[in-house]
Structure 1
Amino acid sequence: MSLGCNDLKNSKTDKAITQVIKEKQITYTISATTPIPVVVYFNDIKVSEEHTPLNSSIDVNGYALKNGKYKVKIQIFPVFKRGDKVVYPEDIKSCRFSFGSFVRDGETGDISKPQTYVQLSLKDLNSPVAYFEQEWEVDIKELPYTLEGWSKGQDLSKMDKKEIEKKVIQYHESIRETLNQGNGDQWIDLTKRRATETAVFNYSSTERYESSIKENRMNVEKYCANRMIPLEDYELKLYAEGKLATLERRSHTTEFNNKSPLDIKGWGPLIRKGQKGGGADYRLLLYLPQNSNDFVIVRK
């Protein structure tokens, strides 16, 4: 699965989690500072929350299956909260993006060896536009692993859209029932593939992997039971050039579950209400393996 020194057997997955020496535990990242809402895509997959300002570093290891060249895309829409109908030149000038990497200590969270490879500079606007988009190509050279991910998935974009949408909706409805029942064991079983690959690109030890499984199970059992909202107001989205499918909320909101402002447009529709206000979504990125009719959860 990857290059490293010690393979630790994991009893829950019957697969080895390869331990990579710390100096090689590189994380590639898009740094973003934006006072306005933007959407960031990497490898044709949405990797940022939609319609929120960003002041963070977006890890992209989970969306790069191997070393190679990848596309970064930034989208900027009119600011819904202000009631804007256009994107203004000053909005573009206020945004800063770059592509780089660092090494994160898995135990302490400490960051070392930060590098910036390229500034993702936005082109200047001379006048307002209805919508802004720009792409760049970046190069990933030092990942110490290769993941299968969705690489062997079927191209859903070549299939009947209504049939795919029906199957994706049915899958989400089934997952909603699992979450609303607080069925942590079933959730862990359904997300096993995702969890195993996540352990690889996060450079997790077997102990950290098993701890995260335990925590995910507990969160579903403790927080999801009878608190999932109905599946509604969604649309089908295909990513990774048709290899991944999901559902996303279609409409803007100004508040949700007693929290204002809160815009949940673009969230996954599997939403858990918070006890006092707000909520959290359980986003599913699904792929359809070759010679199979059953979706598999591979990312979020």
Structure 2
Amino acid sequence: MIQQTIKDKQITYTINATATIPVAIYFNDIKISEENTPLNSSVDVNGYALKNGKYKIKIQIFPVFRRGDTTVSPEDIKSCQFSFGSFVRDRETGDILNPKTYSQLSLKAPDSPVPYFEQEWEVEIKDLPYELEGWSKGQNLSKMDQKELEKKVVSFHQNVREILNKGNGNTWADLTKKRAAETAVFYYSTPEQSASSVNENKTNVEKYCTNMMIPLEDYEMKLYAGGQLVTLEKKSHTMEFNNKSPLDIKGWGALIRKGQKTGAADYRILLYLPEGSNDFVIIRK
């Protein structure tokens, strides 16, 4: 299917964002950007749209924690700009081709400061050349006992943390094979590119994660996609982390690797529970 998709049909849908204050972007009821981070880039949404259809975009704007702000001003909100569009990426050169803007996501700012700001829009995706199963056949986790669900989710994260901390790249590659297979489809990778990406991720775990994963703590469980996806995220703000300031890891995935000298990276795992199964599957990040 990937090979049959000619280049000008390899469409990537995206949300373009310009914000100098912390924002979080949700697509299809899934958080697709880190919280508490200004954005001046585009956020691809193909991985979270399983097929053509109508979807909701939600954007939240937060106070600047590192400044000690407790509210967001109308002026700050008005300074943020968002739009929904698409492009084609040349996988050989990385160039962006045929960029399009379908709608400006105009913000309706309040008249006075607010603790945080939130707004939603509906958009339509029409030209994806594929359909993905993703989590569409997953159980509705919101209907489960939430304490028991959290125990199960924490246990899975603890197991994955141990695998990463041991630098076990082969086991990590096996755990993420379904995610990798679908990523190859929505990223329009060739079989060679997909295999190279899997090998690179495996090597990075072996090289950078060994004995570098922080303890699994200070997390909260989050449900996404109408209750079909679940993950753990850090729940507390930080002013600095691992010799990097400012660095706020609130909202990151709970599996975090410290950098060799400074900073950090998270290994966010979005999990679903297939129908008739008791075993989580990693489907996105």
CA distance in 2, matches of 1:31, 1:254: 27
Matched, 1:239 2:230: no
Shift of 1:209: 0.5
CA distance in 2, matches of 1:268, 1:49: 9
Please give the residue correspondences for 1:140-289 in structure 2 after superposition, counting only pairs within 5 Å.
140-289=125-274
Preserved contact between residue 237 and residue 248 of structure 2 (Cα < 8 Å):
yes
SS state at 1:246 partner:
strand
Determine what percentage of the aligned residue pairs are the same residue. 75
- Of the three residues 64, 83, 86, the one matched with 2:71 is 86
SS state at 1:86 partner:
coil
SS state at 1:223 partner:
helix
SS state at 1:251 partner:
coil
Preserved contact between residue 19 and residue 205 of structure 1 (Cα < 8 Å):
no
Shift of 1:94: 0.6
Matched, 1:293 2:278: yes
The answer for the alignment partner of 2:55 in structure 1 is: 70
SS state at 1:200 partner:
helix
- Using the size of structure 2 for normalisation, the TM-score is 0.99
CA distance in 2, matches of 1:19, 1:188: 26
Which 4+ stretches in 1 moved above 6 angstroms? none
The answer for the alignment partner of 2:92 in structure 1 is: 107
CA distance in 1, matches of 2:195, 2:66: 41
Preserved contact between residue 194 and residue 299 of structure 1 (Cα < 8 Å):
yes
The range that moved more, 73-82 or 49-58, is: 73-82
Q: Deviations over 1:207-247 (max 9, x none)?
A: 10010111011000111011101001000000000000000
Give 1:36's aligned amino acid.
Answer: I
CA distance in 2, matches of 1:107, 1:19: 17
Aligned residues: 285
- Which sections of structure 1, spanning at least 5 residues, go unmatched? 3-16
- Of the three residues 38, 41, 45, the one matched with 2:23 is 38
CA distance in 2, matches of 1:69, 1:18: 27
Preserved contact between residue 21 and residue 62 of structure 2 (Cα < 8 Å):
no
- Using the size of structure 1 for normalisation, the TM-score is 0.94
CA RMSD of aligned residues (A): 0.8
The answer for the alignment partner of 1:8 in structure 2 is: none
Q: Deviations over 1:57-88 (max 9, x none)?
A: 00000000000000000011222111111111
Preserved contact between residue 18 and residue 200 of structure 1 (Cα < 8 Å):
no
Shift of 1:19: 3.9
Shift of 1:18: 4.6
Give 1:185's aligned amino acid.
Answer: N
Matched, 1:132 2:117: yes
CA distance in 1, matches of 2:256, 2:211: 11
CA distance in 2, matches of 1:19, 1:247: 37
